[in-house]
Amino acid sequence: MKTPTSLVRRTAWPTSTSAPVVTPLQPSVVYASPDPDALDAQYDDASGFTYAREGHPNAEVLAAKIDMLEGAQGGFITGSGMSAISAMFLGLLKAGDHVVGGDQLYGRTLRMMTQDLPRLGITTSLADPTDAAAIVAAIRPETRLVLVEVISNPTIRLADMEGIIAVCREKGVLLAVDNTFTTPRMYQPLTAGADIVIHSVTKLLAGHSDATLGYIAARDPDLTSAMMAANVTWGLTPSPFDCWLAERGLHSFDLRFDRAEDNARKLAQALSDMPGIARVIYPGSASHLDHNRAQALFGARAGNMLSFELTGGREAANAFTRSASQIAFAPTLGDVGTTLSHPASSSHRALTPDARTAMGISEGFFRVSVGIEDADMLIAEIDIAAQAAARA
């Protein structure tokens, strides 16, 4: 029997007067045009879609929602948080330029700054973002951009955002803010005066640890165009399915964030009374080193991220994670469930013990991304783990 060749012709989508309430998922890689004139016209005014690497509806829908949260315009979605940072560097910098970064940036960002950009002839310096004077001291005549995170990982210190914004304005240097930990619910970099805002959408915005995506927006549309061109050319494009998942996750972002923050506040309080806990680091606690800055930057908000230190060392840390087996011991953040990370064995394992000690990261140091589970249950689990660690 002859195979009917009509199978490869796409059937027209069934019409319906009633429309779906859910954003459709559009995985099409390519879009067909009526004729060359129409295609030409579409390229001329950069409207619609032609090829998914250049843009697709699910990315556009998601970007528009994050734009709304960030008070941004024309932001776009990238294949990961690191892609967003790559699109920024590749789109805005050239050999001979210099970049200043916070000295406790996300691990891969630090690697990009210290190893990859120098290979491309772009020099970099790291400086302490809790002190705007340290940032200004690192700025050179050829400095084009400063990149900071508002909350440092994993020591949860706060950048001197007001000082850094003023310094970058004065020096005519672009300021990019990775707003992943803070999210627009706590802090809006563009509104505060930064030039560029970046997200690992993978984390709190998507919120379910099932999509890897990034977002970036600039105040100046020319910068956005340059970064978007890099995103398309270097192939940093996101998957439609991930964008679809992230949009669904975003529907509950504000509710999740508020619940997680509320849980974090309760957990920080409870931790300080548990056995074998040397210190708790949470910006919402009056004892936090940057508590006044937290209030100035975030008002009553303090986020879902906290760190704590056990009085014991690695043995205590092992006992803690084994006992807290219901809490994922996994190097991520922003999931609906609480996750625990241990910098000495993961993000900061390449450092010498002395270098870690200088940063305040001991073998008993944990970072917690607090989730939205029942607070009493979470506190009870952590309490049992703290007791196990204290016995170890």
Ligand X SMILES: *Cc1c(COP(=O)(O)O)cnc(C)c1O
Which residue has tokens 């916070």? 102
187 as an active site residue: the answer is: no
Kindly name the residue from 103, 106, 290, 356 that is annotated as catalytic: 106
Query: Residue 330 Cβ, how far from ligand X at the closest point, in Å?
Result: 12
Residue 82 or 316 with smaller CB distance to ligand X:
82
- The single-letter code of the amino acid at 18 is S
Q: Which of 336, 270, 276, 275 is nearest to 306 (CA)?
A: 270
Residue 313 tokens read as 């060392």
Phi, psi of 195 (to 5 degrees): -95, -30
- Whole-number Å distance between alpha carbons of 37 and 112: 43
Query: Residue 163 Cβ, how far from ligand X at the closest point, in Å?
Result: 21
Q: What share of the chain is helix, strand, coil (3-state, %, to 5)?
A: 45, 15, 40
Q: Is 156 left (phi over 0), alpha (psi -120 to 50) or beta?
A: left
The answer for residues whose C-beta is within 8 angstroms of residue 32's C-beta and 6 or more apart is none
Query: Residue 117 Cβ, how far from ligand X at the closest point, in Å?
Result: 16
106 as an active site residue: the answer is: yes
- Please check whether residue 371 is in contact with residue 336, taking contact to mean a CB–CB distance below 8 angstroms: yes
- Please check whether residue 177 is in contact with residue 148, taking contact to mean a CB–CB distance below 8 angstroms: yes
Query: Residue 107 Cβ, how far from ligand X at the closest point, in Å?
Result: 9
Write down the H helix ranges in 172-239: 183-186, 189-192, 221-233
- Chain position whose Cβ is nearest to ligand X: 81
Residue 106 or 282 with smaller CB distance to ligand X:
106
Which residue has tokens 């995170």? 149
Query: Residue 84 Cβ, how far from ligand X at the closest point, in Å?
Result: 8
- Please check whether residue 62 is in contact with residue 75, taking contact to mean a CB–CB distance below 8 angstroms: no
Q: Judging by beta carbons within 10 Å of its beta carbon (0-12, 13-18, 19+), is residue 351 exposed, middle or buried?
A: middle
The answer for residues whose C-beta is within 8 angstroms of residue 204's C-beta and 6 or more apart is 180, 183, 253, 256, 257, 260, 304, 333, 334
Kindly name the residue from 178, 195, 290, 335 that is annotated as catalytic: 178
- Whole-number Å distance between alpha carbons of 374 and 144: 46
Residue 149 or 290 with smaller CB distance to ligand X:
149
Residue 341 or 362 with smaller CB distance to ligand X:
341
Rounded to 10 deg, the angle between the 253-271 and 375-391 helix axes is: 40
53 as an active site residue: the answer is: yes
Kindly name the residue from 144, 203, 256, 356 that is annotated as catalytic: 203
Query: Residue 388 Cβ, how far from ligand X at the closest point, in Å?
Result: 29
- Please check whether residue 66 is in contact with residue 201, taking contact to mean a CB–CB distance below 8 angstroms: yes
Residue 260 or 270 with smaller CB distance to ligand X:
260
Residue 31 or 329 with smaller CB distance to ligand X:
329
178 as an active site residue: the answer is: yes
List residues binding ligand X (CB under 6 A).
80-82, 106, 109, 149, 178, 180-181, 200, 202-203, 212, 214
Residue 50 or 155 with smaller CB distance to ligand X:
155
Residue 328 tokens read as 């994922």
Query: Residue 198 Cβ, how far from ligand X at the closest point, in Å?
Result: 7
Active site residues: 53, 106, 178, 203
